[in-house]
Structure 1
Amino acid sequence: MKHLTLPLLAVLALCGFKPFAPPRADPGPVSLSIVDRDQDLELPTYPHRGQRWVAGRQGHPYAVRLRNNSDARVLVVLSVDGLNVITGDVAAPNQTGYVLDPWQSADITGWRKSSQEVAQFVFTDPGRSYAGRTDRPDNIGVVGIAVFNEARRYVALARPAPPVARSGSRVQPQPQASETADAAMSSAKTTGSVAAAPAPALGTGHGRREQSYSGSTGFERASTAPAQRLDVRYDSERNLIARGILPARLPHRDAGPQAFPESFVPDPPGYGGR
């Protein structure tokens, strides 16, 4: 299946996703989170200087979880390490993406290889990441979305039927609702720089293939500018500590023998007397 790149129509619909409840309170119609698939855990986010960070683990596959918190369809353009996850091109908001139906959620688990398969997203070192191996390492360490609202469709008023025929007004065909999906965007600019930040320890690899079905659907964007831009940055736990995003863990110290442990004297084994 050829993925179109026209700014008004280029979308995919993912198959097999169900509505979710309750919606999250993230600003904008779509919420974005990272799921460690080995742990089946939605990774906690840590705010820092206007950015949101998660700590990934080397070798773990992950998914980008998208939730549409609105009652209307949206187009989501999804970018990983600055690359469009459907086409592999350097990401831009006007590219192809996925469509999310109202109140639906979708886990995007990899780089799309066809309408039936993806190559898993896997946390790996930057040199082995897909962006690094294709000589496009500038934006390693960020997952982003650009979200577009759907244009309102003009529905003509039904003309009154002639008095003799009295035929009913013709019902306008309604667009067919697509199943859950998501979208890709260019990575957003850094809100604040971090002094002496370590080099990224993690990127996203091109992992093993797995089944993931999608189909084509029509979508007309309400505007050329996205209604929402959202980023989540990721790195290793060690680097997040070095950046000051996570507190340093204090080493566990053995207290050793205590002269006054504040407890009563227990009976020795086998003691039966009084």
Structure 2
Amino acid sequence: MLAIAPGYVDAGYRNPLVELQLHDRDTGEYLQPHRHRGRDHVAGTPGHRYAVRMRNISDHRVLVVLSVDGVNAITGQDASPEQSGYVLEPGQSADITGWRKSMAEVAQFVFTDLDDSYAARTGRPTNVGVIGVAVFREKVRPAEPPAVAAAPQRRESAKASAEAEADARLADDADRLGRALGTGHGQREWAPTRHTAFERATRRPVQISELHYDSRERLIAAGIIPAPPRPIAAVPRAFPGGFVPDPR
């Protein structure tokens, strides 16, 4: 049985298909969301690496388009639901740890100042501070009639299907294969993925979830996170001195 870490976001959907969380990779903690005026906020620590955890809690395959600061985490384009995303099998979780640089590497997600963010450095600072997912169901294909004998290509197809059990796989249109991303923030790390076919059941996503983030100090100042209690000061005294002390 899989233990679910606390702090996932479903953005108010009654039956969300995908749970969204942020994981601080330096502390090992999942960032707890705070609900404020209909939005979920988490407190990030500057300089810490983080991962976006996406968990498919449905019983079918889904496509998840990931937006970080308004930028598609795979293509580097201004994020839009019809773009490339990650494909998750039923019950599968994937930790997306950075901007996709190639089919083998990502550049780590790191909490940093707004001016140093990837979006701001590429001239797109408007949506810095929000992470979102757009989720699509897969189109159900009619069942194929039973085959009389297993042809070689079917055995190869079955083998390919078994090999497709990866942490996360990339769904991409033919004209976008191999598209390079812009400069990331953190160091590059090994994070292999592969292309896979996925046909969306609908043009519009069945779920859109957002998670806003900022420093703890700013969230406290905005009234989103309660301020820690102040220590009670000692009662002032008019004559704090006692008897004459011994000399040193």
Structure label with greater radius of gyration: 1
SS of 1:67's partner is strand
SS of 1:43's partner is coil
Matched, 1:226 2:205: yes
| CA 252–21 in structure 1, closer or farther in 2 if over 3 Å, else same | closer
Could you say which residue in structure 1 is the equivalent of 2:23? 35
Instruction: Show the 5 A alignment for 1:113-262.
Output: 113-158=101-146, 168=148, 176=161, 177-181=164-168, 206-253=185-232, 255=234
Could you say which residue in structure 2 is the equivalent of 1:61? 49
Q: Please tell me whether the aligned partners of residues 101 and 180 of structure 1 are also in contact (alpha carbons under 8 angstroms).
A: no
Measured in 1, the distance between the counterparts of 2:65 and 2:165 equals: 16
Measured in 2, the distance between the counterparts of 1:183 and 1:141 equals: 25
Give every structure 1 segment of 4 or more consecutive aligned residues whose post-TM-superposition deviation is greater than 6 Å: 169-175
SS of 1:239's partner is helix
Q: Please tell me whether the aligned partners of residues 9 and 209 of structure 2 are also in contact (alpha carbons under 8 angstroms).
A: no
Give the number of aligned pairs: 211
| CA 157–182 in structure 1, closer or farther in 2 if over 3 Å, else same | closer
For normalisation by structure 2, the TM-score amounts to: 0.77
Percent identity over the alignment? 52
Which letter maps to 1:30? V
| CA 72–137 in structure 1, closer or farther in 2 if over 3 Å, else same | same
Which structure has more helix as a fraction of its residues?
A: 2
Q: After TM superposition, give the deviation of residue 81 of structure 1 in Å.
A: 0.1
Could you say which residue in structure 2 is the equivalent of 1:201? none
Q: Please tell me whether the aligned partners of residues 169 and 194 of structure 2 are also in contact (alpha carbons under 8 angstroms).
A: no
- Using CA pairs under 8 Å that are at least 6 residues apart, name the structure with larger relative contact order, 1 or 2: 1
SS of 1:146's partner is strand
Unaligned 5+ runs, structure 1? 1-18, 160-167, 185-204, 258-274
C-alpha distance after superposition, 1:33-56 (max 9, x if no partner): 001111000000000111000000
Q: After TM superposition, give the deviation of residue 256 of structure 1 in Å.
A: 7.5
For normalisation by structure 1, the TM-score amounts to: 0.70
Instruction: Show the 5 A alignment for 1:9-88.
Output: 20-21=2-3, 26=10, 27-88=15-76
Measured in 2, the distance between the counterparts of 1:25 and 1:242 equals: 23
